[in-house]
């Protein structure tokens, strides 16, 4: 008897909307074939806050893709781990974690004594739960891939950001890195767009608090686009935008893959000289009717992830999916 080869896609609660868009993109890729559906699952909650996910359809022998971004609260990573464990115990053939935003990635080293390396711990937890492969997008530090002893598909948001930047038609474009850590990413964008690169150097007083920023590069009368992997409190971004405008920039925009936008981030962006912030849908945009989101543009990574998922499932090469 030939073993059935089938794909099953499930989503944890925090990424249901993104997973639905991935399903739509998969169905468009194979519009002449039977349609994919989002797998059925449920979560039982207990009075003390504990919860238990369960699959309500068979996953025996299937290649199971579980979609979940692991932004706070910590229940999101815990739910993903429980879903992975449940799939392995239900005799899934392979379990692949699709993590558009890999939380805890900023804890990738010991930057002071007596702290954990959270990114490595999360990698260990995923492996212990039984995951066979991980897909993620724009890790805070690319070397986090080395924390895993299993395949990691590291997707880049440049697939959607580059076309969007080109569509703006900016004649005097400069690409900026908000800090030295983002210089390599900014340089790759600048090379692809054939424009100058600007490097911002920042010093911090403490976590999430920027003391000062200086900008190095061609800024005067330029339309500057800041490239980063995430926006959290937006403190660095807004201060960098102010410095760039003081140095004579004509306009400042920002592209950041993961729009965490915690605390007063949206208020800071609205009060800043930034004309537009482009983020992806790896994290759902925080909607607050009291705060204007008019400066925020969301572009979707669903088609990119759908293509990667399709090719991995069918054992096809995925190198063409990566720009840099």
Tokens 């102010």 belong to residue? 242
Cis peptide before 238 (omega within 30 of 0): no
H or E segment and range at residue 29: helix 16-29
d(CA 53, CA 45): 9
**202 has catalytic annotation:** yes
User: Are 132 and 96 a contacting pair, CB within 8 Å?
Assistant: yes
Bridge-based pairing state of the strands 94-99 and 41-45? unpaired
Reduced to 3 states (helix: H, G, I; strand: E, B; else coil), residue 3 is coil
CA 2: distance to chain centroid? 38
Q: Which of 202, 247, 264, 295 is catalytic?
A: 202
Tell me the two tokens of residue 276.
């537009």
Would you tell me how many other CB atoms lie within 10 Å of the CB of residue 201? Answer: 14
Q: Which residues are catalytic?
A: 202
């Amino acid at each position: 008897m030939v073993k059935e080869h089938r794909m099953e896609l499930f989503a944890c609660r925090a990424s249901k909307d993104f997973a639905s868009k991935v399903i739509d993109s998969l169905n468009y890729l194979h519009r002449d074939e039977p349609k994919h559906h989002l797998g059925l699952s449920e979560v039982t909650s207990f009075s003390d806050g504990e919860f238990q996910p369960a699959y309500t359809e068979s996953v025996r022998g299937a290649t199971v893709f579980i979609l979940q971004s692991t932004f706070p609260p910590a229940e999101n990573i815990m739910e993903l781990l429980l879903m992975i464990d449940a799939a392995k115990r239900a005799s899934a053939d392979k379990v692949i974690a699709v993590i558009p935003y890999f939380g805890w990635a900023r804890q990738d080293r010991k930057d002071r004594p007596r702290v954990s390396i959270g990114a490595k711990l999360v990698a260990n937890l995923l492996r212990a739960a039984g995951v066979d492969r991980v897909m993620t997008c724009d890790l805070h530090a690319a070397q986090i891939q080395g924390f895993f002893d299993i395949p990691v598909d590291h997707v880049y948001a440049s697939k959607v950001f580059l076309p969007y930047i080109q569509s703006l038609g900016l004649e005097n474009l400069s690409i900026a890195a908000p800090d030295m850590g983002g210089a390599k990413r900014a340089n790759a964008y600048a090379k692809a767009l054939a424009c100058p690169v600007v490097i911002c150097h920042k010093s911090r007083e403490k976590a999430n608090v920027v003391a000062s920023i200086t900008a190095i590069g061609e800024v005067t009368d330029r339309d500057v686009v800041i490239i980063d992997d995430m926006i959290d409190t937006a403190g660095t971004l807004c201060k960098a935008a102010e410095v760039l405008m003081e140095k004579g920039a004509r306009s400042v925009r920002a592209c950041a893959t993961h729009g965490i936008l915690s605390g007063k981030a949206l208020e800071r962006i609205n009060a800043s000289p930034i004309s537009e912030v482009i983020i992806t849908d790896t994290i759902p945009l925080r909607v607050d009717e009291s705060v204007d989101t008019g400066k925020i543009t969301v572009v979707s990574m669903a088609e990119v992830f759908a293509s990667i998922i399709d090719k991995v499932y069918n054992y096809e090469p995925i190198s063409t999916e990566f720009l840099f």
